[in-house]
Amino acid sequence: MRNALCGVLLCGCAASAAAQGTPVTFEEPQPVTVTGFAVGRANYDRVARSNSFTAGKIGVSLFKPAGEAYLFAQLTTALEGGEAATEIDNLLVSWTPQRANRWTVAFGRFDAPIGFERDDEPLNLIATNSFTFAYARPGKLTGVQLHYTVSPRFELWGVAANGWGVAVDNNRGKSALARAQWIPIPWVTVGVTGVYGPERDATDAHQRSLLSSDLTVDRGRLIVGAELNVGREQDPAGNPTWRGGAVTAFLRLARGLGLTARYDQLEDQDGLLTGTPQILRSVTVGPMWYFSSAREGIFSNIEHTRFHLPQIALRGAVRADWSSQPFFTDASGGLQGSNTRGILELVYIF
């Protein structure tokens, strides 16, 4: 009797909804997926004469699909200068129309689609970022992004953004980005990106232009990622320029064990990016021990590769830096022309 009554009620609800033109579904709404990562480090700095342990960073991500769209948000708390600060690291609303599924429109704050390196530690193969990533090109953008998949091997991007890494625009102008990405063979990805726009505070003058190219090779046991950036800023005093490049190689030695090396060079001869006319170079080498695989999600693979992110990774690195001018601050507050650092980094993805 109770089952019959329930059936009648369900049929009645369905009939009422149909009469009002409302679609009926008994599917449960898709839940919000929570993922994230945590980073702890031990550091040694020869010039600063310091060594320390830090529980330095935690990022919490929320992913919510909603029909043809999804929301991705990431809050990151990081320790900088001895103080913890929380920021909206990513906030992305993305829409892919069902009838035009080659197109995707996204709005918010996101990683700039440039190069091989990324801001978040799980998405890199080595424990430090290069000078090229830090100075020569934007790592984050805030704005609107249009992505078109021409074919499985060719993609296009167009972006209008506030500027290089700024969450709130520092002038009235906008920066434009265009990118083309091609996969000529299954294990090679080639990208070319152009960026143009004003980047100085409170002025739309001094337009900055950047041409960036990147190459990723994934041969299973060997992964190589390289990028080259060439830029210029318009200035009546002489149009300052810069060049930066980095090459990263990862070799899988055994199951759960790999070795990573990177060479990095930034030529900032006019001092526009670093404040000092100089050439910066660095060499970083270190092993990576990793265990288990992180579950599927935003943090799933090193970009443009089949390397699935490990749930736990322990990375060691020795980094040697050089500059053509004194640049690295020592323990007394003076500047030195070279430095050596040791890093031991633990990354956990949850």
pLDDT in tens, 87-138: 999 999 999 999 999 999 999 999 999 999 999 999 999 999 999 999 999 9
User: Given this model, what pLDDT does residue 29 score?
Assistant: 65
What mean pLDDT comes out for the span 280-286? 98
pLDDT tens digits along 207-251: 999 999 999 999 999 999 999 999 999 988 889 999 999 999 999
Q: Span 139-165, mean pLDDT?
A: 95
Q: Name the pLDDT band for 14 (thresholds 50, 70, 90).
A: very low
Q: 324 lies in which domain range? A: 31-349
Asked if residue 59 is part of any domain, the answer here is yes
pTM summary value: 0.87
Residue 20 in domain: no
Mean pLDDT to the nearest integer, 182-197: 97
Q: Is residue 197 part of a domain?
A: yes
Q: What is the pLDDT of residue 296?
A: 61
Q: Tell me the average pLDDT across 132-150.
A: 96
Does some domain include residue 119? yes
With respect to residue 25, please indicate whether it lies within any of the assigned structural domains.
no
The structural domain count of the chain equals: 1
In a domain? residue 21:
no
Q: Is residue 222 part of a domain?
A: yes
| Structural domain includes residue 12 | no
Confidence tier at 4 by pLDDT (50, 70, 90): very low
SS (H, E, C) the chain: CHHHHHHHHHHHHHHHHHHCCCCCCCCCCCCCEEEEEEEEEEEEECCCCEEEEEEEEEEEEEEEEECCEEEEEEEEEEEECCEEEEEEEEEEEEECCHHHCCEEEEEEEEECCCCCCCCCHHHCCCCCCCHHHHHHCCCEEEEEEEEEEEECCEEEEEEEECCCCCCCCCCCCCEEEEEEEEEEECCEEEEEEEEEEECCCCCCCCEEEEEEEEEEEECCCEEEEEEEEEEEECCCCCCCEEEEEEEEEEEEEECCEEEEEEEEEEEECCCCCCCCCEEEEEEEEEEEEEEEECCCCCCCECCCCCCECEEEEEEEEEEEEEECCCCEECCCCCEECEEEEEEEEEEEEC
- Average pLDDT value over all residues in the chain: 89
* Mean pLDDT to the nearest integer, 46-52: 95
Domain CATH number, residue 61? 2.40.160.10
